[in-house]
Structure 1
């Protein structure tokens, strides 16, 4: 499908952010949906030959396989995205996501095809994880390289809100299905419906992306032979490793906080504090609603007062809430717990709402996809997936006391704050440049020192 030649840059930017939002929303919809069925439905349907505990572990392992495939997808898709363009790669990743989601929903069970069923499930999960790894960073760049400089933060906040929004939608869909179907019907076919229906979202994403032109920054880079590099991934490592490391360490804090809030807290409320599961679920929905507001507000505020200042304020507020979080939960008062969870996840999501634009503005066009993907995936790998497991281990080690966990996550928050503090402001930078913002800042400091000497 061709693009309208007279489409305005503003209209094209709106299409780009819509395309990015749909793709990111699908990513998190899948994350929540698969996590729930992996713990409830899949052990019985795909691992019935095992005893229940082993079947649950095997099913959750398929969930982890998808997470493990994401870094590989991010690295390879990042390299290709810097070589062949953001638009072409995004059409490929969103198509792969849609096809694998539908195939998961249609997959025969162990009772129907035997050992081939769990093998195909793992294979589909690997493909899906690979595609999602490339999707997250690519979608962000599609939107932000089209966005006007003064509105990049706003667009970034819209992308950042997809995680909590999709959690609300996915849980609402599962609640609706479980309430309207009998337990046998849900186990038989009900769990498949969201996977198959997610293909509709993919079709919308493909349609929108086919109407989005390649980003201006990538087009301009391709027109300059000097800007094109033979190996973007190698150059990202070689020339920009300091910036990648700084941004990865910065995002470890918000990533750990997010997983602590949405994965660990529900178990802590129900298992340690004895809060009814339905109450915990309601509190988590309220917190996710606050997170949507936090993401949008973070993006908007970063356009007004800068990325760095907004991130420093949000990081400080998150640290304060981290210190108060568990004592407030231990009151077991619904309103108090709702405020604690809402503020904690809301301030965390302020930073997540700024992450897409902070990463995109930090790197030059010719390695932006590769470098951003490395930083983003590194934070998820080190501070995302392990946090719920480590948190549970620390809680058991401390006989139910949360303070060892507070010390760990608080330390990650302090490191994150320091990485923000030593980094330069990026708001309004030229997205077509060929050096990183850290290099620009370093050159400016050197010039100032030379002028003063």
Structure 2
């Protein structure tokens, strides 16, 4: 390979990573923004006829609806992404996400149009969830399949920054707006401003992704007959269902804990502990700074010691933290609360920083999008989306005690750790292998493959 060709490859790898990271961060900004508002402002605007607890449950349920729509987006986009390529799907998902969020900022409340307000809110949430279901895995594959084999973990960690970065952006905007206007003004129109900014997100996301070529793994797949004759979704479920199930069970732990921290904890801090909203937003921002460090550390460490060992470290750390988390929050002391949330979210994102590369390496090219998307969105459907509502319900029936919530999260965490420990190591796998080559190797996860030295 000539020096010019090597430079072109390096430039495209950087461009692919940037497109994936920036686009995903922008989409998670909108999704995260809704999660924060669902726990604070939206209950009284869209469900005013209910008592406070029921309104909060209903509002958090609309958050869960978006997560429930993810599998549909994952199935459709995954199938099309394995058949038609990663790049084109990424242009569509960022557009749908941005448009639905912008319309959410224009949505009338219950006081204006009655029952139609929550109905339209749910419809827009479904569109958001559909887009994010296809986006999350597609963006990950765009970057990981462009990456050189020895840097996949690093790229994965950089992608893991998207969620905490979007948390900081969303909560920073909310904190700024809440400090600049009265509570009445914020509840009236201030919460709409970040959603209306989504038009800018559409333009930026589409522009960046138009500059990225199709991934080398999919280009290689195009040269075979596999992409023309196979049904990726069918093959993922028929030939790789064990892999899908294993990685879905793994991600149930991080998904449950993530939404426990960023959605339920905000409600718990502001409503149960009566801590000001601004302080709650500030705590989440600080915790997400730790999450950025955690995500990058997890990805880079997995390049050195392997995916399994690194994931196990993160899983054990979050399991231990579960037993003291709420006790520390109950102190209402800012620094201990910040340390607890930072440690907890940091090691949760430590695992999420490894997730993109672990999922991508677990499947052959022709079912990689479908298999990864099913595992990722399935975990969010089972453990992520229901967690805020389940936490509120458990907190209520346990008379204000957090131990019911802790017990459920411990169960998810233990299942996750078992899935990690029983998975094969995939560090250094040849990601250009197709399903037929994997079957000839006699292993769904093909851990015996060797690393390519091409850069």
TM-score, normalising length from structure 2? Answer: 0.87
Q: 1:191 to 1:443 in 2, by over 3 A?
A: closer
Q: 1:206 to 1:407 in 2, by over 3 A?
A: same
Q: 1:327 to 1:119 in 2, by over 3 A?
A: closer
**Contact in 2 for aligned 1:228/1:366 (Cα 8 Å):** no
Name the CA distance, whole Å, in 1 between partners of 2:422 and 2:139: 27
**Contact in 2 for aligned 1:424/1:441 (Cα 8 Å):** no
Q: What's the CA shift string for 1:193-223, capped at 9, x where partnerless?
A: 2122122122111111111000110111011
Q: What's the CA shift string for 1:377-397, capped at 9, x where partnerless?
A: 111011111222222333333
Q: What's the CA shift string for 1:54-113, capped at 9, x where partnerless?
A: 776665554333222221111111111111110011111111122222233334566777
Q: Which residue does the alignment assign to 1:322?
A: 322
Residue 254 of structure 1 aligns to a residue in which SS? helix
For 1:288-299, what aligned pairs fall within 5 Å after superposition?
A: 288-299=288-299
Does residue 19 (structure 1) correspond to residue 19 (structure 2)? The answer is yes
Deviates more, 1:284-293 or 1:263-272: 263-272
Deviates more, 1:138-147 or 1:185-194: 185-194
Q: Which residue does the alignment assign to 2:166?
A: 166
- CA shift, 1:354, in A, is 0.4
**Contact in 2 for aligned 1:229/1:366 (Cα 8 Å):** no
Q: Which residue does the alignment assign to 2:451?
A: none
Name the CA distance, whole Å, in 2 between partners of 1:61 and 1:182: 28
Q: 1:324 to 1:45 in 2, by over 3 A?
A: closer
Q: Which residue does the alignment assign to 1:343?
A: 343
Does residue 106 (structure 1) correspond to residue 106 (structure 2)? The answer is yes
Name the CA distance, whole Å, in 2 between partners of 1:444 and 1:71: 27
Task: Give the length in aligned residue pairs.
Answer: 441
Name the CA distance, whole Å, in 1 between partners of 2:210 and 2:351: 31
For 1:252-271, what aligned pairs fall within 5 Å after superposition?
A: 252-271=252-271
**Contact in 1 for aligned 2:312/2:421 (Cα 8 Å):** yes
Deviates more, 1:79-88 or 1:201-210: 201-210
Does residue 149 (structure 1) correspond to residue 152 (structure 2)? The answer is no
Q: 1:270 to 1:60 in 2, by over 3 A?
A: closer
Name the CA distance, whole Å, in 1 between partners of 2:372 and 2:326: 33
Q: Which residue does the alignment assign to 1:397?
A: 397
Deviates more, 1:234-243 or 1:127-136: 127-136
Q: Which residue does the alignment assign to 1:179?
A: 179
Q: Which residue does the alignment assign to 1:449?
A: none
TM-score, normalising length from structure 1? Answer: 0.88
**Contact in 1 for aligned 2:60/2:389 (Cα 8 Å):** no
Q: 1:150 to 1:62 in 2, by over 3 A?
A: same
For 1:29-428, what aligned pairs fall within 5 Å after superposition?
A: 29-38=29-38, 42=42, 50=49, 60-107=60-107, 119-183=119-183, 185-226=185-226, 228-273=228-273, 275-428=275-428
**Contact in 1 for aligned 2:174/2:281 (Cα 8 Å):** no
Q: 1:177 to 1:251 in 2, by over 3 A?
A: same
Q: 1:250 to 1:368 in 2, by over 3 A?
A: same
**Contact in 2 for aligned 1:250/1:417 (Cα 8 Å):** yes
Name the CA distance, whole Å, in 2 between partners of 1:57 and 1:382: 17
Give the RMSD, CA atoms, in angstroms.
Answer: 2.9
Q: Which residue does the alignment assign to 1:451?
A: none
Deviates more, 1:162-171 or 1:94-103: 94-103
**Contact in 2 for aligned 1:156/1:299 (Cα 8 Å):** yes
Q: Which residue does the alignment assign to 1:450?
A: none
- CA shift, 1:16, in A, is 1.1
Residue 12 of structure 1 aligns to a residue in which SS? helix
Q: 1:275 to 1:55 in 2, by over 3 A?
A: closer
Name the CA distance, whole Å, in 1 between partners of 2:297 and 2:425: 18
Name the CA distance, whole Å, in 1 between partners of 2:279 and 2:92: 41
Residue 69 of structure 2 aligns to a residue in which SS? helix
Residue 346 of structure 1 aligns to a residue in which SS? helix
**Contact in 1 for aligned 2:62/2:122 (Cα 8 Å):** yes
Which structure 2 residue ranges, 5 or more long, are not aligned? 449-455
Name the CA distance, whole Å, in 2 between partners of 1:40 and 1:212: 39
Q: 1:6 to 1:289 in 2, by over 3 A?
A: closer
Residue 245 of structure 1 aligns to a residue in which SS? helix
Which structure 1 residue ranges, 5 or more long, are not aligned? 446-453
Name the CA distance, whole Å, in 2 between partners of 1:421 and 1:66: 31
Name the CA distance, whole Å, in 2 between partners of 1:398 and 1:43: 22
Residue 258 of structure 1 aligns to a residue in which SS? helix
Q: 1:388 to 1:192 in 2, by over 3 A?
A: closer
Name the CA distance, whole Å, in 1 between partners of 2:135 and 2:447: 35
